[in-house]
């Protein structure tokens, strides 16, 4: 690998100070992966700016030299989005982690991109407010990363994903210009919506105005245990078909139950082959009726048991199990590869069977923990990355799962983004003309192709010819 030359490092140090530039082996090593370990790529340098102006100056430095750059939040992404595929500079936003202002009467807050998701809700909790998008990684992932991935979470079924809760953005464009998008009623193109989910390819977000919601008057949380995932997925389809939109509707299968028990000592009903976590929230009148209706649907679909959390402690315990599910898998496997396909909810039983069949024929164990109400699957394929054959088998099984999602009328990604992981699969979902339109739009923002190159758009030349400027870049 080419090392960053002294000239580049000197220019970066002149902007952010030498103590905020990393080019030593340890700094580069910890930035060569995100939450997925299947697409490692080592940058030439890492910088930790403190202000939007510093970010802009770093970007201008890179642009002037033709050096690629990529924004990074907490690095919890699961699609290789924050990897420096062509080397260059990782711009780590972790030090820009201030809450700049809270405007409670107008239900909004302004935050820096490195603020963690959960700390927004924590900061406004004394005001009876919260920030709705709640990825399971919310204790560590950043709001900037959430914007880039248009992240969801258990409660986005009812309340919407990140794009529905972002009111304004400050953005450093790929040429180093600083612009404000949204923020007030502004006519013209809805660039705010475009930026949400653009995976750091159109610029670097340096401040975000988020929408705050009032805490609901009441919450009812239920845990239903089923003998089989098929019964649980039938219940999901029935709940959605009934017209009720629960605040959350999450599923965990028996492999996850085994992992949670092994890792944290959680106990679940005997014989549980699948668990559904259902939540209703809103004004008190009608809330118990909604919870009763959810419980009745589960029982009709064969639930072994349905337990209503009786107090906040019990509720927190149920959610702790769900939010620790991914981490718990580490107790039963050395590595896991999380997929992020989407399918119409009515196809859930069929799709879960397909996932099981794909795992069985590849000789791989697959755990399922996912946002069932959204039809957003997360099959986690367990493996040992020291075994090259297993790595190959895991990637093939992941691709097959995604193919099955698309074949069933679904999509490649619900919330983890395309990144490098799924870019070649984009041609299964989009026509060459669709992809060419996306490439043209990206080139309008980033004609030099330096801003997070190699992500989202296919490079294989199969169905669409992506302009070469999006494939090449030199340090």
Ligand X SMILES: Cc1cc2nc3c(=O)[nH]c(=O)nc-3n(C[C@H](O)[C@H](O)[C@H](O)COP(=O)(O)OP(=O)(O)OC[C@H]3O[C@@H](n4cnc5c(N)ncnc54)[C@H](O)[C@@H]3O)c2cc1C
Determine which residue in the list 88, 113, 379, 458 makes contact with ligand X, applying CB under 6 A.
113
How far is 450 from 442, CA to CA, in rounded Å?
A: 11
> Nearer to ligand X by C-beta: 82 or 301?
82
Footprint of ligand X on 183-222 (CB under 6 A): 199-200, 204-205
Q: Which stretch binds ligand X (CB under 6 A): 130-138, 217-225, 249-257, 280-288?
A: 130-138
Quote the least distance from Cβ 117 to ligand X, whole Å.
8
Residues in region 327-366 near ligand X by CB under 6 A: none
Which of 43, 135, 168, 197 touches ligand X by CB under 6 A?
Answer: 135
Applying CB under 6 A, which part among 69-77, 101-109, 302-310, 391-399 lies near ligand X? 69-77
Minimum distance, C-beta of residue 389 to ligand X, in the bound complex (Å): 25
Quote the CA–CA distance of 5 and 44 in Å, as a whole number. Answer: 9
Residues 31-60 that bind ligand X (CB under 6 A): 34-35
| Identity of the residue, 149 or 442, whose beta carbon is nearer to ligand X in the bound complex | 149
If the CB atoms of residues 73 and 410 are measured against ligand X, the closer one turns out to be 73
Give the nearest distance from C-beta 396 to ligand X in angstroms: 22
Which pairing describes strands 69-72 and 166-172: parallel, antiparallel, or unpaired? unpaired
Nearer Cβ to ligand X (137/231): 137
Q: Which stretch binds ligand X (CB under 6 A): 68-76, 251-259, 283-291, 360-368?
A: 68-76
Which segment (37-45, 147-155, 353-361, 393-401) binds ligand X by CB under 6 A?
147-155
Rounded to whole angstroms, how far apart are CA atoms 53 and 355? 47
Scan residues 302-321 and list those touching ligand X (CB under 6 A).
none
Nearer CB in complex with ligand X: 31/291: 31
Question: Site size for ligand X, by CB under 6 A?
Answer: 36
Tell the smallest beta-carbon distance from residue 172 to ligand X (Å).
8
Out of 33, 97, 146, 335, which residue is the one contacting ligand X (CB under 6 A)? Answer: 146
Q: How far is the CB of 94 from ligand X (least distance, A)?
A: 9
81: nearest Cα among 127, 161, 142? 142
| The binder of ligand X chosen from 145, 176, 197, 449 (CB under 6 A) | 145
Q: Applying CB under 6 A, does 148 fall inside the site for ligand X?
A: yes
Angle between helices 388-407 and 348-362 (to 10 degrees): 160
**Alpha carbon distance 175, 182 (integer Å):** 20
| Binds ligand X by CB under 6 A, chosen from 54, 250, 290, 415 | 415
Listed ranges 97-105, 131-139, 263-271, 354-362: which one lies at the site for ligand X (CB under 6 A):
131-139
Nearest distance, CB of residue 126 and ligand X, angstroms: 25
Least gap, CB of 138 to ligand X (angstroms): 8
Distance in Å, CB of 419 to ligand X, minimum: 6
Please, are residues 366 and 255 in contact by the beta-carbon 8 Å criterion?
yes
Distance of closest approach, residue 368 Cβ to ligand X, in angstroms? 14
Of residues 73 and 449, the one with the C-beta less far from ligand X: 73
Q: How far apart are CA 345 and CA 410, in angstroms?
A: 9
Q: Are strands 69-72 and 89-92 parallel, antiparallel or unpaired?
A: parallel
According to the binding rule CB under 6 A, does residue 81 interact with ligand X? yes
Q: Among residues 38, 70, 223, 394, which is the contact residue for ligand X, using CB under 6 A?
A: 70
- Contact stretch for ligand X (CB under 6 A) within 20-28, 134-142, 293-301, 305-313: 134-142
Applying CB under 6 A, the residues found at the interface with ligand X are 34-35, 70-78, 81-82, 93, 113, 135-137, 141-142, 144-146, 148-149, 151-153, 199-200, 204-205, 326, 415-416, 452
């Amino acid at each position: 690998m080419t090392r960053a030359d002294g000239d580049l490092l000197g220019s970066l140090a002149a902007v952010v100070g030498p103590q905020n530039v990393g080019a030593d082996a340890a700094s580069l090593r910890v930035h060569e992966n995100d939450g997925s370990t299947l697409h490692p790529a080592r940058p030439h340098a890492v910088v930790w700016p403190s202000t939007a102006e510093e970010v802009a100056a770093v970007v201008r430095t890179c642009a002037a030299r033709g050096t690629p750059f990529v924004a990074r939040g907490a690095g919890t992404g699961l699609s290789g989005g924050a990897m420096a595929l062509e080397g260059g500079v990782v711009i780590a936003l972790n030090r820009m982690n201030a809450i700049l202002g809270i405007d409670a009467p107008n239900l909004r807050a302004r935050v820096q991109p490195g603020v963690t998701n959960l700390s927004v809700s924590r900061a406004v909790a004394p005001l009876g407010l919260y920030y709705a998008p709640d990825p399971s990684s919310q204790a560590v992932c950043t709001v900037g990363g959430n914007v880039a991935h248009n992240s969801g979470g258990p409660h986005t079924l009812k309340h919407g994903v990140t794009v529905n809760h972002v009111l304004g953005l400050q953005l450093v464009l790929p040429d180093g210009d600083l612009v404000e998008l949204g923020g007030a009623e502004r006519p013209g193109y809805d660039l705010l919506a475009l930026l949400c989910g653009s995976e750091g390819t159109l610029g670097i977000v340096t401040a975000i105005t988020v929408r705050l919601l009032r805490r609901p008057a009441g919450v009812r949380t239920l845990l239903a245990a089923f003998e089989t995932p098929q019964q649980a997925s039938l219940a999901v389809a029935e709940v959605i078909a009934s017209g009720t939109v629960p605040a959350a509707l999450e599923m965990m299968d028996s492999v996850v139950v085994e992992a949670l028990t092994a890792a944290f000592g959680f106990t679940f009903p005997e014989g549980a082959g699948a668990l559904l976590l259902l939540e209703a929230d809103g004004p008190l009148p009608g809330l118990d009726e909604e919870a009763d209706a959810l419980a009745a649907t589960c029982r009709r679909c064969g639930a072994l048991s349905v337990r209503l959390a009786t107090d906040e402690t019990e509720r927190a315990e149920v959610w702790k199990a769900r939010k620790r599910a991914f981490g718990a898998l580490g107790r039963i496997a050395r590595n896991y590869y999380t997929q992020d396909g989407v399918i119409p909810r009515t196809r859930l039983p069929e799709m879960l069977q397909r996932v099981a069949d794909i795992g069985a024929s590849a000789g791989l164990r697959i755990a399922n923990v996912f946002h069932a109400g959204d039809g957003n699957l997360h099959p986690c394929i367990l493996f040992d990355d020291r075994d090259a054959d297993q790595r190959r088998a895991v990637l093939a099984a992941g691709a097959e799962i995604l193919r099955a999602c698309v074949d069933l009328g679904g999509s490649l990604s619900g919330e983890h983004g395309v990144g490098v992981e799924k870019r070649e699969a984009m041609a299964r979902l989009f026509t060459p003309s669709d992809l060419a339109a996306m490439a043209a739009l990206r080139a309008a923002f980033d004609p030099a192709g330096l801003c997070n190159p190699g992500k989202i758009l296919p490079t294989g030349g199969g169905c669409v010819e992506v302009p070469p400027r999006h494939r090449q870049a030199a340090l």
